[in-house]
Structure 1
């Protein structure tokens, strides 16, 4: 078997130390002949965009993970060797996806040209694919890889390693595992999660695909708090010890922590936005249901001084008449506390005030402003009251002082 030994200089590349390989793993023999990735592509800054594009396209076409990872690997190797324009990169990405699907999927699962053009339009890709261009690019890719697409990726190893990812003697948080089926289901999700992380950064291309798959399983066990993190059975199956996987696992866990922090920040931002939207909806609802009378922003005396002047002298006449009536009836009857005299004085007051009250005619509300606002409480004007709504004039409180 093969053992990975990191260089003393700290370079991410690893030296290969020969050991006899088990005869039952032909893919590990194939990965020894994989071309060396140098990260020399002039368009390496756009790599992440095209990787995400291939991921979206493969999910829309319901392709298997091995087809998606093979398409990404073909694109990486081709970009590393040639200087490609942006427009040709789109055609190259679609051609890599087609070749990978033809190699890994059944014939009925291979995307059609019309479907690919529709997906390109949905992804805002301003490129219209033609059959001629795709065929020409497919031929160029096949010639570049010597017509050999049997290239192992990490996705080809992961299912094989997942069979031994959980053992009966493993512990979860220090306790025996009660349901291996449930734990294996979570393990599979975590492993593919880390596997998808590995294609987003080209630094993982410095590791062998089988090592990335083994590191994905080990990182999943660490996140699920399964002990021990790496078992003897997994070491015998993968031919990798903990020392071989440590560097790749560390990179995966760093990405995992950053992803959790980013997801937490997004969740907080979404929560704050929801709270702000609820507050705005409540304020809008209150604005449509409340009628508020704002005294401070409206000055009726300044705007209607000419109209109010005709009401000032009748009000003063009414107040003086009321005082005279009280003076006339106060000496004997009110001091005696007679109810009949009180009623008689009230009737006389009402009779004396009735003609003057009828002479007042209010044509429009002057001192009250109806406004839709968001402030929770305002009071109506106490100087001129609500009488301007009803058409009857009410008198200020100061006029009734004895």
Structure 2
């Protein structure tokens, strides 16, 4: 189901918000870049790293079932990666940590109607833990993050970059702009899934650059030029700045050297 301009879409933004962005564009860019600098470095050194693929798929499934946004999903994955990166978690509690990461992300990204209840998240894993353990762990995790979770992800930047995803030069007589937007939506969604499935994307690239690369790769998939002057002005990235991650996204066979994995890893 395509939900391009609904409140459940990563691309949805109310008209008043668009007006604010236009008026305060430079200030907005400065704020989100400053938040990007506050992100915690990630080395994927958790002893539970082998569980990550299963946990990400679980989060994706719950977000689809609960109709949660891409921003919520990506923030939950980021919180999970960072918390696991800095703690040794016994395997029996990994799902508890995952659910609490999703709960925290949902409280930050979603409205009250869509925030899942603890009982609902616990039911999704067969009521494995006492409810009080969720509440206790939530406090522990928030204290670890110093009560600051305004970490931007690639999904957040996509949300912002979409205002310039198509330029006037892209519109030709034989192209339907609505169809083009829907097709771009599908491409971008696929790439957003791709970057959370492979941990090295977050490890190697800042989220603003990843988002720019996703836009470039999606435009190229649609037969458009990879970059435009409008995107350069909005993102402060030139095409050469995002060329490497764009190549990695599109080929899916690029290698990255990772000391933690001890091998050259396919992204």
Maintained 8 Å contact 2:80/2:98? yes
Corresponding position of 2:259: none
1:142 maps to 2:142: yes
1:202 maps to 2:199: yes
State how far apart, in whole Å, the 2-side matches of 1:177 and 1:90 are: 50
Maintained 8 Å contact 1:195/1:212? no
State how far apart, in whole Å, the 1-side matches of 2:89 and 2:217 are: 36
Number of corresponding residues: 228
Deviations 1:109-156 (A, max 9, x none): 1112332233224xxxxx613211101110111011000111111111
Q: How far 1:176 sits from its partner (Å)?
A: 5.4
Deviations 1:142-200 (A, max 9, x none): 011000111111111112212211112127xxx65532222012111211210111111
State how far apart, in whole Å, the 1-side matches of 2:253 and 2:214 are: 11
State how far apart, in whole Å, the 2-side matches of 1:248 and 1:176 are: 32
Q: 1:23 aligns with which of 27, 31, 55?
A: 27
For the aligned residue pairs, the C-alpha RMSD in angstroms reads 1.9
Deviations 1:232-278 (A, max 9, x none): 11111111112211121122112399xxxxxxxxxxxxxxxxxxxxx
Gaps spanning 5+ residues in structure 1: where? 1-20, 122-126, 258-402
State how far apart, in whole Å, the 1-side matches of 2:90 and 2:248 are: 31
Gaps spanning 5+ residues in structure 2: where? 1-24, 255-267
Q: 1:58 aligns with which of 51, 54, 63?
A: 63
Maintained 8 Å contact 1:170/1:176? no
Structure 1 length normalisation: TM-score? 0.54
State how far apart, in whole Å, the 2-side matches of 1:255 and 1:176 are: 33
Corresponding position of 1:236: 233
Q: 1:72 aligns with which of 55, 60, 77?
A: 77
Structure 2 length normalisation: TM-score? 0.80
Q: Compared with structure 1, are the counterparts of its residues 256 and 58 closer, same or farther at alpha carbon in structure 2 (3 Å cutoff)?
A: farther
Maintained 8 Å contact 1:214/1:238? yes
Corresponding position of 2:124: 119
State how far apart, in whole Å, the 2-side matches of 1:192 and 1:243 are: 23
Corresponding position of 1:168: 168
1:87 maps to 2:84: no
Corresponding position of 1:10: none
Maintained 8 Å contact 1:187/1:220? yes
Maintained 8 Å contact 1:169/1:176? no
Report which structure shows greater RCO (CA 8 Å, sep ≥6). 2
Residue aligned with 2:59, SS = helix
State how far apart, in whole Å, the 2-side matches of 1:248 and 1:109 are: 33
Maintained 8 Å contact 1:187/1:221? yes
